[in-house]
Amino acid sequence: GQVRRAVALAAAARTVRAEMAIPPDVGFQTELDSRVEAAAQLMSRGEAEAARASGSAMTLDEAASAAVDPSWQ
């Protein structure tokens, strides 16, 4: 649940930033990437890829909803 959400939301944030042409803060992004990769290691490769794909397909509104909805899977 929470690990999948974290990986998906990180992918959503990356996609939304790219779509809006907003460059990431390099230091923050490096730290985030490290933490998200550690979280992804707690899942199978297929689960992590599915979470990333799910997040990458989210709109900004969908990502915001997923971030605050405790039942989001």
Q: pLDDT, tens digit, for every residue of 10-24?
A: 999 999 999 999 998
Residues 60 and 9: beta-carbon distance below 8 Å: no
Query: What secondary structure letter does DSSP report for 73?
Result: -
Q: Cα-flanking dihedrals φ and ψ of residue 70, to 5°?
A: -65, -15
Query: What confidence tens digit (pLDDT) does each residue in 20-72 have?
Result: 999 989 999 999 999 999 999 999 999 999 999 999 999 999 999 999 998 88
- Distant-in-sequence, close-in-space partners of 36: CB < 8 Å, separation ≥ 6: 6, 7, 10
